[in-house]
Amino acid sequence: MQHFNLDENGVRILDPSLAAPNSPKGRIIDVYFKQKKIWCDYDESDDCRHVKYALSLPIVQEILKKKGWKQ
Rg (CA), the chain: 12
On whether residue 55 sits in a domain, the answer given is yes
pTM of the predicted protein model: 0.88
Q: Which pLDDT does position 18 carry in this prediction?
A: 95
Q: Structural domain of residue 52, as residue ranges? A: 2-66
On whether residue 27 sits in a domain, the answer given is yes
Which residue from 5, 1, 30, 33 is spatially nearest to 14, judged by alpha carbons? 1
Average pLDDT, the chain: 92
How far apart CA 57 and CA 35 sit, in angstroms, is 19
Q: 33-54: per-residue pLDDT in tens?
A: 987 789 999 999 999 999 999 9
Q: Which pLDDT does position 71 carry in this prediction?
A: 59
On whether residue 71 sits in a domain, the answer given is no
Q: 9-20: per-residue pLDDT in tens?
A: 999 999 999 999
Number of structural domains found in the chain: 1
Q: What are the CB-based long-range contacts (under 8 Å, 24+) for 9-12?
A: 9/33, 11/54, 11/57, 11/60
On whether residue 62 sits in a domain, the answer given is yes
Q: Which pLDDT does position 32 carry in this prediction?
A: 96
How far apart CA 48 and CA 52 sit, in angstroms, is 6
